[in-house]
Copies of this chain bind each other. A is one copy, B any other.
């Protein structure tokens, strides 16, 4: 029976933009989507949930079974009549590659159709200064992953690439020369396409981290949130209405240049006191060194001061680490306050190396956000740490390829469906 929603005479424009989608929602056949989300069900339940007739569901499921994406795996419990045939989504039927090209490292994740990382390769590499070697390394890591996974080559459906640079939607294979000059604007990643014969998609790393969290992490139930990547550089991915939002020119999420202190240090952009000059890993390292005198016994005394190292020190209770992380949380919360008031997001997810600080970062941040949102009784912005951790960006890249593929799968005409 369809749940007939009663509506009073006075109506509102639209309902709130919260949680309309209970999971990652690719634009594809509704039956496929539901089965992909739920994992296992049976035909009658699908028909009921989607309001479709049993005939349509029956036929669609047939086609999905033929494609190897769904399998009948036995009978369920009776609820007073014939026992249902349990259908199981075959998440392992295909795989996707996600490549995370950072400033100083390359990581590759091979995931199944559920975004689970089946193979993982990660190496430090001077990406900025060595385009040729980086490209070779990417191919090697991809080959490694595919070789390791049974049938990897044949089952591959797509590749996603995350780059530490804004991506121009009109020319996705160009890179911003401002960020990594030695690449001279050319990613030349289409050789991946030539090598593996599958579609290749490129996007910014923060956007893909946000996509990963929306799809498989802490943002699964949220449709409006911010993913903040605090690492060597800082960036943000904006999720609006369940989708990654890119803004008018494709450069939304430029959190690094949100102004904090008009009297602050000069930023590479020419302004003073950008958020990036305060919470970037270089700034954090400086701050740690400046304070080392006060904290003689700090574990940070003689370390390479990456965001990760500082975060780990804080997580272990190091007083200096905690202090610096605490300061960072305050600044970050202040910088995001305007965004929170204007966009009323459900949550803020922190990723990147500094996220490893965990509660040492989240505690003060929650406190600061709560303080700045007193009036609005309705602003319980949840602050959490990335659930996917260091793999977030690579998994997001893979998810990009995955979602694109799902949206091409159709019951009737059937592009990649019959590959293996």
Interfacial residues, chain A to chain B (CB-CB below 8 A): 8-18, 167, 169-170, 172-173, 178, 187, 189-190, 193-194, 199-203, 207, 211, 222-224, 226, 236, 238, 240-241, 243-255, 257-259, 268-271, 334-339, 341-346, 371-376, 378-379, 400, 404
Q: Which of B178, B194, B246 has a CB less than 8 Å from the CB of A344?
A: B246
B8, A341: Cβ atoms closer than 8 Å: no
A247, B17: Cβ atoms closer than 8 Å: yes
List 15 A-B pairs, Cβ < 8 Å: A10-B173, A12-B169, A15-B170, A16-B246, A16-B250, A17-B246, A238-B343, A240-B245, A253-B342, A253-B344, A257-B372, A257-B375, A259-B337, A337-B338, A338-B339
A166 to chain B, nearest CB (A): 8
Q: How far is the CA of A222 from the CA of B12 in the complex (A)?
A: 24
CB nearest to A252 among chain B residues: B344
A171 to chain B, nearest CB (A): 9
A253 to chain B, nearest CB (A): 6
CB nearest to A254 among chain B residues: B341
A245, B335: Cβ atoms closer than 8 Å: no
| Residues from chain B with Cβ under 8 Å of A336 in the complex | 338
| Residues from chain B with Cβ under 8 Å of A248 in the complex | 16-18, 222-224, 344-346
| Residues from chain B with Cβ under 8 Å of A253 in the complex | 342, 344
Q: How far is the CA of A201 from the CA of B14 in the complex (A)?
A: 10
4 closest Cβ contacts across the A-B interface?
A247-B344, A12-B172, A269-B375, A249-B378
| Residues from chain B with Cβ under 8 Å of A16 in the complex | 169-170, 246-250
A342, B12: Cβ atoms closer than 8 Å: no
Q: How far is the CA of A193 from the CA of B8 in the complex (A)?
A: 10
Q: How far is the CA of A226 from the CA of B339 in the complex (A)?
A: 12
A9, B193: Cβ atoms closer than 8 Å: yes
| Residues from chain B with Cβ under 8 Å of A372 in the complex | 257, 259, 271
CB nearest to A178 among chain B residues: B375
CB nearest to A259 among chain B residues: B337
Known: A250-B16, A252-B344, A372-B271. A11 touches B199 (CB 8 A): yes
Q: How far is the CA of A247 from the CA of B339 in the complex (A)?
A: 11
A297 to chain B, nearest CB (A): 33
Q: How far is the CA of A337 from the CA of B342 in the complex (A)?
A: 12
B334, A259: Cβ atoms closer than 8 Å: yes
A24 to chain B, nearest CB (A): 13
A331 to chain B, nearest CB (A): 12
A252, B342: Cβ atoms closer than 8 Å: yes
